[in-house]
Structure 1
Amino acid sequence: MEIPIQFPTVPLSSGHNIPVLGLGMSHHGGYSHNALLYALRSCGIRHIDTAKRYGNEELVGKAVSESGVKREELWITTKLWPGDYGYDKATQACLDACKRLGVQYLDLYLMHWPDAHVPGKSSREARAETWKALEDLYYRGICRSIGVSNFLIHHLEQLKEDCSVVPHLNQVEYHPFQRPQELVNYCKRNNIVFGGYCPLAKGQALTHPLILRIAKQYGKTPAQICIRWSIQNGVVTIPKSTKESRIQENCQVLGFILADEDVCTLNSLHDGRHVSWDPTNVL
């Protein structure tokens, strides 16, 4: 059996270190028990990213338990769905997530989406009230780090005005066609680690001629080029896969470095397209 790779980590302002590469879960068939076990046992994956929305927290907990990997070696992220926004509901939702995952604490808990439908409250008010619940869960040690997902600069600015803890991480769609550099720069200035999901643009990046050319040049796959590019841009990167061979391929991105000119070429592919949710119009 191969010795699993140890992935580098990035420090969060919470004092904890998050692995730069994770394995993302999703809904609509986005879970494979055998693939997750393989990732943990054979590929060195220690960072698992799931969400209540995906409906597989219990299955993830089962795989973690079966894997034999010690809890303290793992980084488990899950996310709070807007239907659970509000102070009391968010607090209970977190405790329920821990129970489903079979853990005493979460390494990272994210507000999944900036829009909130809490009766009698604006989205901003609902986000602030929910974030205060996450702050208290953080102070209690139930969430070792807290953050947000799909938040743009104005959402982050409002949280900063309304609350006391700046999010430790913001997880946003990030791939060669969607590289929100202004948001990346904002997060960097405010000591918010930037996380990226959909690094392969749901497969759209795998057939682009420039990406294919660079992959051939390095003797790598287009997926490996995209993931390596994302990590080199300082992004905590969360590819999703339910296939063991793809997970192994995605993990083999530490043995090479893209030249600056190739990073610039990939950066230039940004055209603003979204392959996932677009939070632009959320107030």
Structure 2
Amino acid sequence: MNNGLKIPNMALGIWKIPDNQTPKAVEEGKLRTIGIPSFEKEDLDNLMQNSSTKPAVNQILVRNGETPMNLIDYIQGNDIVVEAFSPIAHVAPLNDPKIKKMADKYGVTVSQLCIRYDWQLNCVVLIFIKKLALNLLLISI
């Protein structure tokens, strides 16, 4: 069926309203599952009511100082994984004196604290890094 090519584990859509072909690709075995980007409760409700394919992942912004707990609870309550993107890519948490003080209290870096924060919310953490920051990130994790 796939001519010897590996089937992708998941397709993460980039549109608010997924193309009707995505569920069909899952049904036909071309994809194993789908993921969705930044879907709010209303978007997720619409998708689940109008699609035969339930997403496995919803990728949303979750970071210290910006934690949509109601949305996280709703997503996880529907047995969908929350993928937290960019917990340390935004400057605000990295420069927040309260977060720095807490990191110092626990003997960790601000980056480590921010990532751990998302993990403790049972989120999968996705980190985007630039090449120049790679060494700093590896040192700080």
Name the TM-score, length of structure 2 as normaliser.
Answer: 0.85
Q: In 2, are the aligned partners of 1:224 and 1:249 still within 8 Å (CA)?
A: no
Name the TM-score, length of structure 1 as normaliser.
Answer: 0.45
In structure 1, the residue matched to 2:94 is 206
RMSD: 1.8
The answer for unaligned runs of 5 or more in structure 1 is 1-102, 115-126, 253-283
Within the candidate set 101, 115, 135, 2:23 is matched to 135
The answer for unaligned runs of 5 or more in structure 2 is none
Percent same amino acid at aligned positions?
25
Q: Segments of 4+ in structure 1 off by > 3 A?
A: none
Distance 1:139 1:246, change over 3 A: farther
Q: How many residue pairs end up in the alignment?
A: 135
CA distance in 2, matches of 1:246, 1:136: 43
- The Cα offsets for residues 23-58 of structure 1, whole Å up to 9 and x where unpaired, read as xxxxxxxxxxxxxxxxxxxxxxxxxxxxxxxxxxxx
Within the candidate set 98, 112, 137, 1:224 is matched to 112
Distance 1:222 1:107, change over 3 A: same
- The Cα offsets for residues 6-33 of structure 1, whole Å up to 9 and x where unpaired, read as xxxxxxxxxxxxxxxxxxxxxxxxxxxx
Within the candidate set 248, 251, 274, 2:138 is matched to 248
Is the partner of 1:229 in helix, strand or coil? Answer: helix
* 1:1-283 paired onto structure 2 within 5 Å: 104-114=6-16, 127=17, 130=19, 132-200=20-88, 202-241=90-129, 242=131, 243-249=133-139, 252=141
Q: In 1, are the aligned partners of 2:25 and 2:31 still within 8 Å (CA)?
A: yes
CA distance in 2, matches of 1:162, 1:144: 19
- The Cα offsets for residues 201-223 of structure 1, whole Å up to 9 and x where unpaired, read as 51211111111011112221101
